[in-house]
């Protein structure tokens, strides 16, 4: 049995968003490039001139309701449009939804008036245990309905559609009943959620499982992609590991350019870098590189065909 949320209701859902949220959602310019905000860069972000138009917060780090964290949160939100990205909700888990966690997300959403909140198509908790990693779920009807139900509950609670990101993976379930793009497509149809397309994750998973990355990009519902992530991976023997600890590789840049040229060049892009952080100016250089590619794609649209 599928969840009774019709994708046609999505527009009505968007209409029901509070005015401030809709206003700010429009304030992230199409085809712009933002950066993941890290605490060590806050001073530079606030006090120096830079070309970064918006930032993404890893929401799990901003739950404190006092002190520096809260003051910085408010200060940044007053100056820049923000988006929220989470890793701790464990949407795909069979555990009950963590409402305490969601209440904290809602608090940050309301405090910052962030444009949207995104989470992953994965799970990280089971029974009374939780791991700091994003584990894959099987792509089955059962998992689809389970995840759709939870996304709907989250959207009802937050009173806005959320974005779901494709996670990178190193294993897949042999009982899969559909491909990852089909799973994501159905999830969007069932819940009215949007997609956060992580190009690096598409590349990593494709290499690890022998998928065609180009075909993957063709099969996802591109009209529902609301944000793109670009990050780095490292190679361990024959496996690519999503690490967010380096710049995007040449292959990932190439896949990004392919996406911009063939599908969408108006979606906001976010540069993700969480570990072994470089200087803020090094991140800005990557942000500018992505922006250059978007401008180039916008100036000439030449469709390419997947081989």
Partner 1 sequence: MRLAQWQATLFNQIVSPNEDLLQPDFPGSDIVPDNAFNESRISIYRNNVIGGLESWIRNIYSNTHSLLGDYYFSVLCRCYISEVEPVAKLDNNFAEKLPEYIGQFTQKKIYTLEISAKTDKTKMKQRLKSLPQLMDVARLDWILQKSYYADKRKTWPQNDFLKLSPKQQAHLTFNLSPDINWLSSAWDLPSLLRLNVEQTLSPETDPSIQSVQSKSSRMFLLVERPQIKVKIKQVSQAEFDLLNLIKQNYSLSDIALQADHLSTFVARLIEHGWIDGFTPRLPDIETRFRSNQ
**Site pattern 26..65 for partner 1 (x: CB under 8 A):** -------------------------------------xxx
- Hey, which residues between 212 and 251 contact partner 1 (CB under 8 A)? 236-237, 239, 241
Tokens of 272: 């993700």
Please work out the total of residues on this chain that contact partner 1, with binding judged by CB under 8 A.
41
1 binds partner 1 per the rule CB under 8 A: no
- Say if residues 60 and 87 touch (Cβ distance below 8 Å): yes
User: Least Å distance between CB 181 and partner 1?
Assistant: 18
Q: Quick one: 104 or 214, whose CB is closer to partner 1? A: 104
Question: For residues 169, 170, 174 and 176, what is the CA-based torsion angle, rounded to 10 degrees?
Answer: 10
Q: Is the CB of 170 or the CB of 258 nearer to partner 1?
A: 170
- DSSP, collapsed to helix, strand or coil, labels residue 49 as coil
Q: How many residues does the chain have?
A: 307
- Distance, CA of 44 to CA of 52 (rounded, Å): 11
Cα(56)–Cα(305) distance, integer angstroms: 33
Give the integer Cα–Cα distance in Å for 198 and 85.
12
Considering only residues 4, 29, 46, 71, which one is a binding residue for partner 1 as defined by CB under 8 A? 71
* CB closer to partner 1, 157 vs 170: 170
| Per-residue contact flags (x/-) with partner 1 for residues 125 to 164, judged by CB under 8 A | -xxxxxxxx-x-xx-x-xx--x------------------
Closer residue to partner 1, CB minimum distance, 2 or 236: 236
Nearest alpha carbon to residue 18 among 154, 153, 110: 110
Would you put residue 20 in left (φ > 0), alpha (ψ -120 to 50) or beta? alpha
H or E segment and range at residue 154: helix 141-158
- The sign of the dihedral angle between the CA atoms of 268, 272, 278, 280 is positive
Q: How far is the CB of 259 from partner 1 (least distance, A)?
A: 26
* DSSP single-letter state for residue 237: T
Q: How far is the CB of 98 from partner 1 (least distance, A)?
A: 10
Collapse the DSSP code of 194 into the 3-class scheme (helix H, G, I; strand E, B; otherwise coil) and give the result: strand
Span 10-29, contacts to partner 1 by CB under 8 A: none
Closest CA to 270 of 35, 45, 30: 35
Q: Which of 4, 46, 103, 173 binds partner 1 (CB under 8 A)?
A: 173
Distance CA 17, CA 195 (A): 18
Instruction: Tell me the closest approach of the beta carbon of residue 234 to partner 1, in angstroms.
Output: 11
Residue 224: CB minimum distance to partner 1, A? 24
Site for partner 1 in 91-110 (CB under 8 A): 92-94
Q: Is residue 179 part of the contact set for partner 1 (CB under 8 A)?
A: no
CB of 136 to partner 1, least distance (A): 8
**Site residues (CB under 8 A) for partner 1?**
63-71, 88, 92-94, 123, 126-133, 135, 137-138, 140, 142-143, 146, 170-175, 208, 236-237, 239, 241, 275
């Amino acid at each position: 049995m599928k969840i009774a949320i019709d994708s046609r209701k999505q527009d009505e859902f968007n209409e029901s968003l509070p005015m401030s949220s809709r206003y700010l959602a429009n304030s992230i310019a199409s085809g712009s490039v933002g950066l993941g905000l890290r605490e060590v860069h806050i001073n530079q972000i606030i006090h120096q001139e830079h070309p970064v138009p918006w930032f993404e917060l890893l929401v799990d780090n901003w739950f404190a309701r006092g002190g520096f964290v809260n003051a910085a949160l408010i200060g940044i939100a007053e100056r820049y449009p923000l988006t929220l990205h989470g890793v701790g909700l464990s949407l795909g888990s069979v555990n009950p939804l963590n409402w305490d966690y969601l209440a904290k997300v809602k608090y940050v959403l309301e405090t910052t008036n962030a444009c949207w909140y995104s989470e992953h198509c994965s799970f990280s908790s089971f029974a009374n245990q939780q791991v700091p990693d994003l584990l894959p779920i099987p792509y089955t009807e059962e998992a689809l309905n389970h995840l759709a139900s939870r996304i709907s509950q989250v959207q009802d609670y937050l009173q806005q559609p959320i974005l779901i990101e494709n996670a990178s993976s190193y294993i897949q379930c042999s009982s899969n009943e559909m491909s990852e793009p089909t799973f994501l497509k159905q999830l969007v149809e069932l819940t009215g959620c949007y997609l956060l397309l992580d190009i690096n994750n598409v590349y990593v998973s494709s290499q690890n499982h022998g998928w065609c990355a180009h075909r993957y990009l063709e099969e996802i519902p591109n009209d529902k992609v609301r944000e793109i992530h670009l990050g780095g991976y490292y190679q361990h023997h024959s496996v690519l590991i999503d690490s967010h600890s380096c710049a995007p590789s040449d292959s990932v840049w190439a896949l990004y350019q392919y996406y911009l040229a063939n599908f969408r060049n108006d979606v906001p892009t976010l540069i993700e870098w969480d570990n072994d952080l470089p200087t803020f100016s090094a991140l800005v250089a990557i942000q500018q590189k992505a922006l250059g590619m978007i401008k180039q794609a916008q100036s000439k649209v030449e469709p390419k065909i997947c081989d």
